[in-house]
C-alpha cells in the first residue's frame, strides 16, 4: 500500500527519496511524488501517475534539495491522477504533506472548517493540509501547533510527514495505526513507513507510537507524547542487508522467493531447534499457551490459509482445540470465546490493519497473544504479548510464498513444543528436525522441476479463464492457497474446494476442458478425492493430480516426495506457486505487482 519516505540534512535528498520509493514499489501503488527544499529559497514538487521510472523521467536536473518528502499512493479516495497523488499542499504553498491511511471524518471536517477553501484533489489528505494551513494562518500558530490542532480533530488511521516552507529543514511526523519510523543516519535523518526503504542510509531506527508527534531536523529527533511530554527512546538495529532486497539474476522476486523456501526451512530449524531437534521456544510463551483452553488463529489471505494448516498441527500434535478466523470478520463479529483463549496472529508484514484491529480488541480484553511475523518490530509484533520471527528474509513479491511455508513450519515447531510439554505421544514421536530436513530436500526437488511445471501451466491453465483446486482436510486447506495464488497473479478465476462438496452444486460449472487439480496426500481420503476427480472428468474436466509418493498410482501428473502427512502442505503448495507463476509470466503479466493489490494492506 502507500509508502512514505522523508529525509533532512542531506544534499542528495532527491536521490535518497527516489531510491527509497523504489524500495517501496513492491507494496503496490499507482502514483508517486516528491517535494524537496534546498533551504535557500528553492523548492520543487514532482508528481506522476504510474511507476517510479515515470517519476524519474519527470525529475529534471535542476530539481535538488537537502530536505524532502516522498510518497507512493495506492488510491483509496479519488481516482488515480496527478492531482490526487501526494505530496498535497496548502493553497498558499506553505505546507506539504504525505499521508498513509484513511481519515474517516474528512468530509465532516471539510464541511465544518473548510467550506470556503477551493480543493484541487478528491483526497482526504488535502483536507488535512488545508486544515493545518488554516489553523496556522487564522490562529497564528507555528507549524507544530497547527499540526497538533489538526490532529486532535482527526478520526481514522494515518502516518503523516509534513513540511513547512517557513522551517524548511524540519520534518513533522505523527501516526495513528499506520506504521512510520525515524531512521538515524550519519549526519542526517530519515523517515519511512518501512525500514526497507532506508536500509542504504541507516540500520538504526526509532519506533514512533500512536499519538506521538516527532520533529526531525538534520541533527536531532524530538519525540513528544500525546500529553506534550518529551520522550526519550533508544534506536533499534534492523538486522537486514540492503542486498537481500535485490532480485539478483531472477526475472521476478516471486521466483526468487519460491526458490528460497528450502533455505527458509533450514533456517527455521537452526533458529528454533536444538542440535537434537528439541524445540527452543521461550518457556513463558509455552506456559501461556499451556494455560489456554483454546487457541484462536487470526490472519488474512495467505496467512489465514497458513492458519488453516496450523489448526491441524496444534490439534494433532498438542491436542488443543484450535479455531482459525479471517481477521476482518473476527474484528466486527467476534464469536463466543472459550474461558481461557490464547490468540495467535499470523502476519507476514506485521502491519495488516484488519489483523491489528483484532489485536487491539484482544489487548483491551487482557487476553494473551503471540504474533508470528516476518518483520522485526512491526506493529503487531510490538503490540502482542509474544513474538516469533519467521526469518524468511524480505518478501517483496505481492504474492506471498515463503512466508506461507515459514508460517506453517513455525506452527509445526510450536505445536511440537506445546505437545511435548503436554505429554502428547504424537508430539514426542514427531521428529521435527528430521522432517524439516526432508521438507527442505523435497522442496528443492520440486523447484528443480520448473520446466515440467511450466509445461503443465501452459497445457492446463493458459487457455482457461477458470480453474478448480480440490482436496480434503489438510489438502483442502492447501487448495484454498493454491487458488488464491493463481487468481491474484494470473487473473484466472480459481476456486479451492473441499472435493466432497463439489457435487453439491459447484460441479455444474465443470464443462469441457475446465482444469481441475486434485491434491492427494492423506491416506484416509486419497481414494475419495480420486473419485471426486473422476466425477469431474466424466463431465469433461481436464484433471491434474499432485500426489505424495506413497499414494501415487500410474498416470498421476506430479508425484512429490513423502514427508509426514501433517507437513505435506509445505510441499504441495510449491508446484501450485509455480503453476501460478508460469501462468502469469506466460500471459505477459507483471508477476510481482499484480493489478489492484498491495503487499501490506494497512487500511481496513
**Shortest Å, Cβ 145 to ligand F6R:** 36
In the bound state, the residue with its beta carbon closest to ligand F6R is: 301
Q: What is the DSSP string of 25-83?
A: GGG--SEEEEEEE-SSS-EEEEEEES-HHHHHHH--TT--BSEEEEEEE--SSS-S-TT
Q: Please confirm, yes or no, whether 450 is among the known catalytic residues.
A: no
Question: Helices 124-138 and 143-151: crossing angle, nearest 10°?
Answer: 130
Is the CB of 399 or the CB of 438 nearer to ligand F6R?
399
Residue the block writes with cell 506485521: 350
Q: Which of 2, 47, 134, 311 is catalytic?
A: 2
Tell me 273's DSSP state: B
**Shortest Å, Cβ 348 to ligand F6R:** 4
For 273, the grid coordinates are: 531447534
Site for ligand F6R in 562-601 (CB under 6 A): 600-601
Q: Which of 215, 347, 377, 435 binds ligand F6R (CB under 6 A)?
A: 347
Site for ligand F6R in 392-431 (CB under 6 A): 399-400
Question: Helices 124-138 and 106-113: crossing angle, nearest 10°?
Answer: 30
**Shortest Å, Cβ 584 to ligand F6R:** 12
Site for ligand F6R in 349-378 (CB under 6 A): 349, 352, 355
**Shortest Å, Cβ 376 to ligand F6R:** 14
Strands across the sheet with 542-548, in order? 493-498, 466-471, 515-520, 542-548, 558-560
Within a 10 A sphere around the Cβ of 463, how many other Cβ atoms? 10
Per CB under 6 A, which region of 92-100, 226-234, 348-356, 447-455 contacts ligand F6R? 348-356
**Shortest Å, Cβ 144 to ligand F6R:** 33
Size of the site for ligand F6R (CB under 6 A): 15
Q: Which of 194, 488, 556, 565 binds ligand F6R (CB under 6 A)?
A: 488
CA dihedral of residues 401, 203, 268, 450 (deg, nearest 10):
30
Is the CB of 261 or the CB of 303 nearer to ligand F6R?
303
Site string for ligand F6R, 274-313 (x = CB under 6 A): --------------------------xxxx----------
**Shortest Å, Cβ 390 to ligand F6R:** 10
Residue pair 53/73 in contact by the 8 Å Cβ criterion: no
Q: Please confirm, yes or no, whether 192 is among the known catalytic residues.
A: no
Is the CB of 355 or the CB of 583 nearer to ligand F6R?
355
Task: Report the run of H or E that residue 24 belongs to, with start and end.
Answer: helix 13-24
b/e burial code for range 506-530 (CB count within 10 A of at least 16 → b) = ebeebeeebbbbbbbbbeebbeebb
Within a 10 A sphere around the Cβ of 241, how many other Cβ atoms? 12
Site string for ligand F6R, 1-40 (x = CB under 6 A): ----------------------------------------
305: nearest Cα among 527, 469, 188, 124: 469
CA distance 543 to 73: 42
Q: Which of 10, 261, 348, 377 binds ligand F6R (CB under 6 A)?
A: 348
CA distance 170 to 172: 6
Q: Which of 256, 267, 416, 599 is catalytic?
A: 599
SS3 of residue 400 by DSSP: coil
Is the CB of 352 or the CB of 499 nearer to ligand F6R?
352
**Shortest Å, Cβ 177 to ligand F6R:** 14
CA distance 158 to 176: 5
Is the CB of 214 or the CB of 598 nearer to ligand F6R?
598
Q: Does 261 bind ligand F6R (CB under 6 A)?
A: no
**Shortest Å, Cβ 29 to ligand F6R:** 15
Active centre residues (catalytic): 2, 599
Using CB under 6 A as the criterion, which residues of the chain lie in contact with ligand F6R when the complex forms?
Answer: 300-303, 347-349, 352, 355, 399-400, 484, 488, 600-601
Amino acid at each position: 500500500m502507500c509508502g512514505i519516505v522523508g529525509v533532512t540534512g542531506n544534499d542528495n535528498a532527491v536521490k535518497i527519496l527516489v531510491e527509497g520509493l523504489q524500495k517501496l514499489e513492491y507494496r503496490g501503488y499507482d502514483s508517486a511524488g516528491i517535494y524537496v527544499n534546498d533551504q535557500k529559497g528553492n523548492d520543487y514538487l514532482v508528481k506522476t501517475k504510474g511507476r517510479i521510472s515515470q517519476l524519474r523521467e519527470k525529475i529534471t536536473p535542476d530539481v535538488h534539495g537537502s530536505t524532502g518528502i516522498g510518497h507512493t499512493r495506492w488510491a483509496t479516495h479519488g481516482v488515480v491522477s496527478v492531482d490526487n497523488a501526494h505530496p498535497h499542499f496548502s493553497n498558499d504553498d506553505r505546507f506539504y504533506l504525505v499521508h498513509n491511511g484513511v481519515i474517516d471524518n474528512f468530509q465532516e471536517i471539510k464541511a465544518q472548517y473548510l467550506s470556503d477553501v477551493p480543493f484541487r484533489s478528491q483526497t482526504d489528505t488535502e483536507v488535512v493540509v488545508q486544515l493545518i494551513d488554516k489553523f496556522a494562518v487564522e490562529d497564528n500558530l507555528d507549524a507544530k501547533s497547527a499540526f497538533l490542532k489538526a490532529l486532535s480533530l482527526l478520526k481514522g488511521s494515518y502516518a503523516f510527514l509534513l513540511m513547512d516552507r517557513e522551517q524548511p529543514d524540519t520534518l513533522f511526523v505523527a501516526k495513528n495505526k499506520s506504521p512510520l519510523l525515524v531512521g538515524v543516519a550519519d549526519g542526517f535523518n530519515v523517515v519511512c513507513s518501512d525500514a526497507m526503504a532506508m536500509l542504504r542510509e541507516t540500520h538504526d531506527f526509532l519506533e514512533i507510537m500512536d499519538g506521538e508527534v516527532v520533529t526531525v531536523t538534520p541533527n536531532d529527533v524530538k519525540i513528544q507524547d500525546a500529553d506534550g511530554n518529551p520522550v526519550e527512546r533508544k534506536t533499534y538495529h534492523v538486522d537486514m542487508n540492503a542486498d537481500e532486497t535485490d532480485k539478483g539474476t531472477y526475472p521476478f522476486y516471486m521466483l526468487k522467493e519460491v526458490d528460497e523456501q528450502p533455505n527458509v526451512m533450514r533456517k527455521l530449524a537452526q533458529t528454533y531447534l536444538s542440535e537434537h531437534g528439541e524445540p527452543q521456544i521461550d518457556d513463558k510463551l509455552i506456559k501461556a499457551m499451556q494455560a489456554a483452553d483454546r487457541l484462536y488463529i487470526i490472519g488474512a489471505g495467505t496467512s489465514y490459509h497458513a492458519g488453516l494448516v496450523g489448526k491441524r498441527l496444534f490439534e494433532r500434535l498438542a491436542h488443543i482445540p484450535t479455531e482459525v478466523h479471517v481477521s476482518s470478520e473476527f474484528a466486527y463479529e467476534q464469536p463466543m470465546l472459550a474461558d481461557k483463549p490464547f490468540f495467535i496472529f499470523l502476519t507476514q508484514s506485521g502491519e495488516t490493519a484488519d489483523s491489528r484491529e483484532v489485536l487491539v480488541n484482544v489487548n483491551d480484553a487482557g487476553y494473551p497473544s503471540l504474533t508470528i511475523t516476518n518483520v522485526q518490530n512491526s506493529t503487531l509484533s510490538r503490540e502482542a504479548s509474544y513474538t516469533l520471527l519467521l526469518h524468511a528474509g524480505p518478501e517483496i513479491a505481492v504474492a506471498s510464498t515463503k512466508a506461507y511455508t515459514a508460517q506453517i513450519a513455525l506452527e509445526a515447531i510450536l505445536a511440537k513444543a506445546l505437545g511435548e510439554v503436554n505429554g502428547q505421544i504424537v508430539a514426542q514421536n514427531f521428529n521435527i528436525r528430521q522432517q524439516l530436513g526432508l521438507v527442505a530436500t523435497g522442496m528443492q526437488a520440486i523447484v528443480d522441476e520448473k520446466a515440467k511445471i511450466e509445461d503443465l501451466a501452459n497445457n492446463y491453465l493458459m487457455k482457461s479463464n477458470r480453474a478448480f483446486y480440490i482436496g480434503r482436510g489438510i489438502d483442502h486447506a492447501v487448495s484454498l492457497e493454491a487458488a488464491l495464488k493463481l487468481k491474484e497473479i494470473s487473473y484466472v478465476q480459481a476456486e479451492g474446494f473441499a472435493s466432497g462438496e463439489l457435487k453439491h452444486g459447484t460441479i455444474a460449472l465443470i464443462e469441457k476442458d475446465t482444469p481441475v487439480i486434485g491434491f492427494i496426500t492423506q491416506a484416509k481420503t486419497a481414494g475419495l478425492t480420486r473419485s471426486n476427480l473422476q466425477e469431474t472428468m466424466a463431465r469433461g474436466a481436464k484433471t491434474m493430480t499432485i500426489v505424495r509418493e506413497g499414494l501415487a498410482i500410474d498416470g498421476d501428473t506430479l508425484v512429490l516426495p513423502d514427508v509426514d502427512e501433517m507437513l505435506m502442505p509445505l510441499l504441495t503448495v510449491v508446484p501450485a506457486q509455480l503453476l501460478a507463476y508460469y501462468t502469469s509470466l506466460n500471459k505477459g503479466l507483471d508477476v510481482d505487482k499484480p493489478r489492484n493489490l498491495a503487499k501490506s494492506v494497512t487500511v481496513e
